[in-house]
C-alpha cells in the first residue's frame, strides 16, 4: 500500500513545538516579530506573502509588512532595508522574491543579518549548510523536504537519492542536506543525460524542476519514495507538481501530493526558523525544545 505523505500533518506537528516556544518566549516578555519585505506587485510574491502572513498570524506571531513600489531606487531600498535589518524589535526577515532587476540583490543578501535570515539565503547560512553546523537557518523549502522525510521515518543513510533540479534555493542546498545525512546523492539539471536511468536507480526521487509530468512511472523503481517539490499550473489552471501522480502512485512506497505536500510545510518552517532566530538572538534563554 502506498503512503501518501501529508504535508498538513507535518506542519501540524511542527506547529505544536512552535506554540510552546511562543508561549515560553512571552513568559520572558519577548514577542518574536517577522518583517515581510516586498518590492513591486508580482502575483507570485503577493500570494506567497499572504500564505506566510496567515501562518504567522495563526501561530500568534507579530508581523510587519514593508512594501516598496517596483520603481524604488536601489539606494532608497538599500537604506530602508538596512534600517529594517538593524531594528532590534525585528527578529526575522522574509525577503519576497524576485526583486526587480535594478535592485542589487547580491548587496541586499550581503547586508542581511544571518541571524535574522529565516529563509536561509545569506552566504553565511548556506555555508553553514555546507559545513553541517548545528546552529543554522536553512532555506525553508529544502528544510521542509527534510521535515517530511523525517516525519515518515525515511532512512537516508546509505540510500541513493536523485534530486531533479539544481537551483540555489531548492536543489543545491537540498543535495547538501541529504549528503550531510550520509545519503548518496545524484543532482540533475536540464542538461543531465539519461534522467530516466538516474531516477530509476534511486531509492528516493525528489523533483524540484518546475516541469509538469517530468517524472512518470518509467522513472520510478518499485517501492521508491517520491517527493514532489514542483509547483506548476496546468492548462485548466489547476496546481500540479512535476510528478505524474496518478501514474506513479502505485509504484511508489511513499509519495507526496501537490497540493498538500511540501508546499503545505514551507510556511510553517519559516515560523519555526523565526523561533530559532529569536533563540539565537536571545541566548542563553532557549524557547524551542531541541
Ligand atoms: P528554477 O527554475 O530556479 O530551477 C529549476 C531547476 O530544475 C534547474 O536546475 C534546472 O536545470 C532543472 N530542470 C529544469 N528542467 C529540467 C529537466 N527537464 N530535467 C532535469 N532538470 C531540469 O526553479 P526553483 O526555484 O528551484 O523551483 C523548482 C520548482 O519548485 C518550481 O516548480 C517551483 O515553483 C517549486 N518550488 C516549490 C516550493 C514549495 O514550497 N513547494 C518552493 C520553491 C520552489
| Residue 166 beta carbon below 6 angstroms from any ligand 1 atom | yes
Q: What is the pLDDT of residues 123-157, one digit of tens each?
A: 999 999 999 998 889 999 999 999 999 999 999 99
Say how many Å lie between the CA of residue 167 and the centre of ligand 1.
Answer: 7
Binding-site residue ranges for NADP(+):
165-167, 231
The domains of the chain are located at 27-115, 140-264
pLDDT tens digit at each of 290 positions of the chain: 999 999 999 999 999 999 999 999 999 899 999 999 999 999 989 999 999 999 999 999 999 999 999 999 999 999 999 999 999 999 999 999 999 999 999 999 999 999 999 999 999 999 999 999 988 899 999 999 999 999 999 999 999 999 999 999 999 999 999 999 999 999 999 999 999 999 999 999 999 999 999 999 999 999 999 999 999 999 999 999 999 999 999 999 999 999 999 999 999 999 999 999 999 998 655 566 65
Which residue's C-alpha comes closest to atom 16 of ligand 1?
Answer: 190
CATH of segment(s) 140-264: 3.40.50.720
Burial class, 40, CB count within 10 angstroms (exposed 0-12 / middle 13-18 / buried 19+): middle
CATH number of this structure's domain 27-115, picked from the four choices 3.40.50.720, 3.40.50.10860, 3.40.430.10, 3.40.50.10490: 3.40.50.10860
Does ligand 1 lie within 6 Å of residue 266's CB atom? yes
7, 209, 264, best to mutate for ligand 1 pocket (most atoms within 8 Å of CB): 209
Mean of per-residue pLDDT scores for the chain: 96
Ligand 1 centre and the CA of 44: distance in Å? 15
Contacts of residues 218-222 at CB distance under 8 Å and 24 or more positions apart, as own/partner, are 219/195, 219/248, 220/248, 220/251, 220/252, 221/251, 222/251
Beta-strand (E) ranges in the chain? Answer: 3-4, 33-39, 62-68, 92-95, 160-164, 184-188, 204-207, 225-228, 232-233, 239-240, 254-255
Between the CA of 79 and the centroid of ligand 1 the distance, in Å, is 32
Amino acid at each position: 500500500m502506498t503512503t501518501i505523505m501529508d504535508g498538513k500533518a507535518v506542519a501540524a506537528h511542527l506547529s505544536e513545538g512552535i506554540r510552546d516556544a511562543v508561549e515560553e518566549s512571552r513568559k520572558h516578555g519577548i514577542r518574536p516579530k517577522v518583517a515581510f519585505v516586498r518590492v513591486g506587485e508580482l502575483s507570485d510574491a503577493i500570494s506567497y506573502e499572504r500564505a506566510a502572513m496567515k501562518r504567522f498570524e495563526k501561530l500568534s506571531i507579530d508581523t510587519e509588512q514593508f512594501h516598496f513600489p517596483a520603481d524604488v531606487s536601489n539606494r532608497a531600498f538599500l537604506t530602508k532595508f538596512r534600517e529594517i535589518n538593524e531594528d532590534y524589535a525585528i527578529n526575522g526577515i522574509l525577503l519576497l522574491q524576485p526583486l526587480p532587476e535594478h535592485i542589487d540583490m547580491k548587496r541586499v543578501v550581503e547586508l542581511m543579518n544571518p541571524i535574522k535570515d529565516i529563509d536561509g539565503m545569506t552566504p553565511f547560512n548556506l555555508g553553514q549548510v555546507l559545513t553541517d553546523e548545528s546552529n543554522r537557518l536553512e532555506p525553508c523549502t529544502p528544510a521542509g523536504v527534510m521535515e517530511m522525510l523525517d516525519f515518515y521515518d525515511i532512512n537516508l543513510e546509505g540510500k541513493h537519492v536523485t534530486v531533479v533540479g539544481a537551483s540555489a534555493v531548492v536543489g543545491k542546498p537540498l543535495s547538501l542536506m541529504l549528503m550531510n545525512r550520509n545519503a548518496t546523492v545524484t543532482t540533475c539539471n536540464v542538461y543531465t543525460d539519461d534522467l530516466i536511468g538516474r531516477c530509476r536507480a534511486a531509492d528516493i526521487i525528489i523533483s524540484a524542476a518546475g516541469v509538469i509530468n517530468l517524472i512518470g512511472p518509467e522513472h520510478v523503481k518499485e517501492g521508491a519514495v517520491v517527493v514532489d517539490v514542483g509547483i506548476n499550473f496546468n492548462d485548466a489552471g489547476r496546481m500540479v507538481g512535476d510528478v505524474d501522480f496518478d501514474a506513479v502512485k502505485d509504484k511508489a512506497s511513499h509519495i507526496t501530493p501537490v497540493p498538500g505536500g511540501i508546499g503545505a510545510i514551507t510556511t510553517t518552517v519559516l515560523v519555526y526558523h523565526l523561533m530559532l532566530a529569536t533563540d539565537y538572538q536571545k541566548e542563553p534563554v532557549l524557547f524551542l525544545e531541541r
